[in-house]
Amino acid sequence: MTATEQWITDAGLDGAVLINAWGWIENALLKPEHWQAVGKTRGWPDNDDTFSNVMEWWRAKYIGFFDHLADGLTIEEALLALENK
């Protein structure tokens, strides 16, 4: 399973529909509620002292994902990079 497919599964989304429909995965990745669902599935803490209880882990991953895209990574590479942090 690719990192993208795993993210879709962890978000509780219908992967077959998203993967087969152009643009659906991109739209899903933009929605914070999907990142929250992934965080719950993966057991990310809601907040942490390293973020001074201001930023939840899912939000840090969400922002980090877009930082990786801005650095030129593909969606798959960006999701893999987040898993390795």
pLDDT for 76:
92
The model carries a pTM of: 0.74
Residues 22-58 as b or e (16 or more Cβ within 10 Å = b): eebbeebbeeeebbbbbbeeeebeebeeeeeeeebbb
Average pLDDT, the chain: 81
**Is 73 buried (19+), middle (13-18) or exposed (0-12) by CB count in 10 A?**
middle
Number of domains in the chain: 1
Q: What is the pLDDT of residues 51-77, one digit of tens each?
A: 544 467 888 899 999 999 999 999 999
Domain holding 44, by residue range, is 3-83
